[in-house]
A and B are shown apart, each in its own frame.
Chain A
Amino acid sequence: MSNFPNTQTQSPMLAFVELASKLWINHAIGAAAKLGIADAMSHEAKSVEEIAQATETHAPSLYRLLRCLASVGIFTEVESHSFALTPMAEFLRNDHPQSLRHLVMMHCQPWHLRFTGEQMHSVKKGEPAVKKVYQIDALYEYFDRDPEAGELFNKGMVGLTRNYHIPLIKEYDFSGFTKVVDLAGGQGGLIAEILKANPHLQGVLFDLPQAIEQAADFLAQQGVADRCERVGGDMFESIPAGADLYTISYTIIDCSDESAIALLSSIRRGMADNAKLLVIDSIVPTGDEFHWSKWLDLEVMTIGKGGARTEAEFKEIFEKAGFEWVRTISAGTPVSGMELAPVK
């Protein structure tokens, strides 16, 4: 079983009580993120009054919030009413390259709470809660009517996947490849990291035409624009030919089995027989083990038709699409890299 809740040091009753109030922790982190608390702090202790002044907050209430977060390792109370940053608190900072500030802010937004609060609907009817709440089939449709929400969602996802991608890229051997195409690459977060870590590689960012439009600045800022082409298109129709490696990250999870097989088959058709496909996604372990993907799966269940998959479930769709699963790369994060080769 997972490392939490701990029933060795506390009764099952207290373990239940903790699980039943997990949302308080989530929202406390959300409040700290929204108010920019971590940006007003440093590794040297600062008094609550100082932090309150810098963030325009109410010092006694801020103290109560910081005391809580310090008890789970975000911040530390160095001396009475003086707090400093911890390694976990770094992720709350806005200017940190691996910031998760927007991710947690997104979780606590009213529009997000509306459908997560309707998880019951998904369990009862087997359809996404966003259908009940917003009369849509998938969350991304909501962003058409609330672009600000869409922007926050994207920032949150970029922050999260950067944390997942960087260790994985370190583990994966890119030396035998010359050209990599990132499919459904969005703003270019993954391809930029791959190209930065592998100066010998040429890259292609592939996504819907409107998505790659916005990526130009980001790629330039990352210093890889000269090695990265941007190509617009629909990956269910066709993909850019001529690369020896294709990557696709956190996309299969949003697909039903049917559309995952359609997508993978389209990729298979578009790639050379000796090219590889690296699917980056969470693999749900079997049994009672704690794994973040089991919880992500519930979020996915409320926002669309997709789902997080077990190894057996991945194997089945890979086979149906004409792929052989060659090996799996993991890097101590909740995502894995699944290397696939076309069945010849």
Chain B
Amino acid sequence: MTTTEDQNVQTNSPMKAFVELSSGLWINQALNVAAKLGVADFLTQGAKSVEELAQATETYAPSLYRLLRALASVGVFTEVEPRRFALTPVGEYLREDNPFSLRYQVMMHCSECNWPLKGEMYRTIQDGKPTIQHIHQVENYMEYLDGHPQEAELFFRAVGGILKNFCLPLLEEYDLSGFTKVVGAAGPENVAIGWILKNQPTMQGILFGPPPVIAEAADYLNSEGVGNQCETVEGDWSTSVPAGAGLYTLSYTMIESDDDAALKILQNLRGAVAENGKVLVMDSVIAPGNEHDWNKWLDLEEMTMGNWKVRTQEEFNALFEKAGFKLTRVIAKKGETAASLMELVPA
């Protein structure tokens, strides 16, 4: 993917490019402030003046102007005439009422836990231990979230938004006809299973997971109008998986598992899937070489927040093989989603 940074080096001197990359904090925080203020939600009816926006968001107009001007320079807003701003296609993702909103993603990256923590990343490079273990004396972010319900809420909303954006374009490319039953993980996969069942009205589903997320999963399925097509079942993927379905989905579960845990889940899946069944693993796969790939950066996030990682295709293949699966197909849509869909069949 040619992006941003590659181009930066091409059109900028190395010094300017370096300084810009070293100012990423400012960009990220500005986007966070815009997300928290809900500025984008006041622009759905068209452009507004800074004064109108300041009144709506209860902010100080001259400062808000400086924020919006900066964000307009990276394509989040556009200054249509002096001191009047409108939304852009990028800025649409800040909206609360956009079904594909990523508002909570940026708020999560700048959260009370995350903002100061990333400054201590060097500790992980020194000793290989997740930064969160150094700072909060917890095993990983999940354990931190157990004690911080507000941050947990933010996290689940953020991840819900990301998975929807990343996984649905891949499922659209996959032929779901011929399957009668699908099993997915409650929580992260609510969106995927909900989408599959909506598109395949004769299909039945099971969302499977621990008690706290099961209740929410049921609510979500009802809100999507597919509650009658889907059961919710309590359980733990690392102990057993409901057997006998033709299709299983596993979205962004591998990424938050170390190799041992990932293998255990895959082995359980291998035991559960019908002989002619399929497993769809949707996850980030790291591009080789010096290519710019957002997934490489996501890997740093994983590295600081737990014994987690983003894998290369080779690393995935080794796990699949060990668990008794064969990789039959990879769907990736470069430039459209950062995720890949990997189709597995029992070996």
Q: Do A and B bind each other?
A: yes
Choice from B1, B73, B121, B300 contacting A288 with Cβ under 8 Å? B73
Encoded as 1 (CB less than 8 Å from any B CB) or 0, chain A from 285 to 314 comes to 011111110111111010000010000000
A339 CA / B7 CA spacing, docked (Å): 33
What string of 1s and 0s marks CB contacts (under 8 Å) between A32-44 and chain B?
0011000000000
A296 to B70, CA, bound (A): 9
* Complex interface: chain B residues within 8 A of A86 (CB): 14
A219 to B257, CA, bound (A): 56
Q: Which of A112-120, A147-155, A236-244 contacts B (4 or more CB under 8 A)?
A: A112-120
Indicate whether B181 reaches chain A with its CB closer than 8 angstroms: no
Q: CB-nearest residue of chain B relative to A333?
A: B16
Q: Can you name the residue of chain B whose Cβ is closest to the Cβ of A288? A: B72
Contacts A10-B1, A20-B28 given; indicate if A26 touches B116 (C-beta within 8 A): no
Fill in one digit per residue for B313-333: 1 if any A CB lies within 8 Å of its CB, else 0. 000000000000000000000
CB–CB B119/A109 < 8 A: yes
A12 touches B22 (CB 8 A): no
Bound complex: CA A60 to CA B128 (Å)? 7
Question: Which parts of A40-86 form the interface with B (CB within 8 Å)?
Answer: 56-58, 60-62, 64-65, 67-68, 70-74, 76-77, 86
A310–B60 Cα gap in the complex (Å)?
19
Known contacts being A20-B106, A58-B127, A299-B26, is A163 close to B7, with CB within 8 Å? no
Let me know if A210 is at the binding interface, CB within 8 A.
no
Q: Could you tell me the distance in whole angstroms from the C-beta of B43 to the nearest C-beta in chain A?
A: 15
Q: CB within 8 A of A61: which of B30, B100, B128? A: B128
The chain A residue with its CB closest to the CB of B94 is A16
- Shortest distance from the beta carbon of B102 to any chain A beta carbon, whole Å: 5
Q: What 3 pairs across the A-B complex have the smallest Cβ distances?
A: A126-B60, A22-B24, A26-B24
Residues of B within 8 A of A (CB): 1-9, 11-33, 36-37, 58-60, 62-64, 66-67, 69-70, 72-76, 78-79, 82, 88-90, 92-94, 100, 102, 105-106, 109-110, 115-116, 118-119, 121-122, 124-128, 162, 165, 286, 289-294, 296-301, 303, 309, 335-338
Would A163 and B15 be within 8 Å (CB), given that A2-B73, A19-B90, A125-B60 are in contact? yes
Is B70 in contact with A27, judged by CB distance below 8 angstroms? no
| Distance of A189 Cα from B25 Cα, bound (Å) | 27
Known contacts A9-B335, A123-B37; is-contact A28 B300 (Cβ 8 Å) = yes
Nearest Cβ on chain A to B59's Cβ, whole angstroms: 5
- Flag if A124 contacts B122 (CB, 8 Å): no
**Bound-state Cα–Cα, A108 to B26, Å:** 11
| With A4-B8, A73-B5, A113-B116: A21-B21 Cβ-Cβ less than 8 Å | no
A266 contacts the other chain (CB 8 A): no
**Distance between Cα atoms of A87 and B17 in the complex (Å):** 10
Residues of B within 8 Å of A176, CB to CB, are: none
Contact of A70 among B92, B124, B290, B335 (CB under 8 A): B290
Q: Which of A21, A113, A292 contacts B119 (CB 8 A)?
A: A113
How near does chain A come to B52, taking the closest CB pair, in angstroms?
A: 15
Contact B79 A12 (CB under 8 A): no
Interchain CB contact under 8 A, B3 and A56: no
* Residue among B12, B119, B338 with most chain A CB within 10 A: B119
13 A–B pairs (Cβ distance < 8 Å), ordered by A: A7-B89, A9-B1, A24-B297, A25-B297, A28-B297, A58-B127, A58-B128, A67-B286, A68-B297, A71-B5, A98-B15, A107-B23, A292-B19
By a CB distance below 8 angstroms, the chain A residues around B124 are: 58, 61
Given pairs A6-B3, A61-B124, 16 additional interface contacts (CB within 8 A):
A3-B7, A3-B8, A4-B3, A11-B336, A14-B294, A15-B75, A16-B76, A17-B165, A23-B110, A57-B126, A61-B128, A108-B118, A117-B116, A123-B59, A297-B69, A301-B66
Which of B13, B19, B126, B299 interacts with A100 by CB under 8 Å?
B19
Contacts of A2 in B (CB 8 A): 73-75
Contact indicator A20/B109 (Cβ below 8 Å)? yes
Q: Could you say which residues of chain A place their CB within 8 Å of the CB of B12?
A: 3
Option from A5, A90, A292 in Cβ contact (under 8 Å) with B75 = A5
B90 touches A16 (CB 8 A): yes
Most buried by A among B18, B82, B293, B294: B18
Q: How would residues 156 to 180 of chain A score, 1 for a CB under 8 Å from any chain B CB and 0 otherwise? A: 0000100100000000000000000
Q: Which residue of B lies closest to A285 (CB)?
A: B73
Supposing A11-B336, A22-B27, A71-B292 touch, asked if A61 and B125 sit within 8 A by C-beta, the answer is: yes
Q: For the complex, what is the distance from the CA of A11 to the CA of B88, rounded to whole Å?
A: 12
Please determine whether B162 and A126 come into contact, CB atoms closer than 8 angstroms: no
Q: Are A17 and B109 in contact (CB under 8 A)?
A: no
Evaluate contact between A290 and B290: CB separation under 8 angstroms: no
List the B side residues contacting A119 at CB < 8 Å: 29-30, 32-33, 67
CA distance A119 to B103 in the complex (A): 17
Is A23 a contact partner of B25 (Cβ separation < 8 A)? yes
Q: Which residue of chain B has its CB nearest to the CB of A286? A: B82
Known: A3-B11, A58-B127. A123 touches B3 (CB 8 A): no
Nearest residue, chain B, Cβ from A70: B290
Chain B residue at smallest Cβ distance from A100: B18
Could you say which residues of chain A place their CB within 8 Å of the CB of B118? 23-24, 27, 108
Which B residues are in CB contact (< 8 Å) with A100? 15, 18-19, 22
A64 to B77: give the CA distance in the assembly, Å.
Answer: 33
Do B90 and A26 touch (CB < 8 A)?
Answer: no
> Contact at B66–A64, with CB atoms within 8 Å?
no
- With A14-B336, A17-B162, A74-B18 already in contact, the answer to whether A7 and B90 are too (CB < 8 A) is yes
Q: Is the CB of B92 within 8 A of A77?
A: no
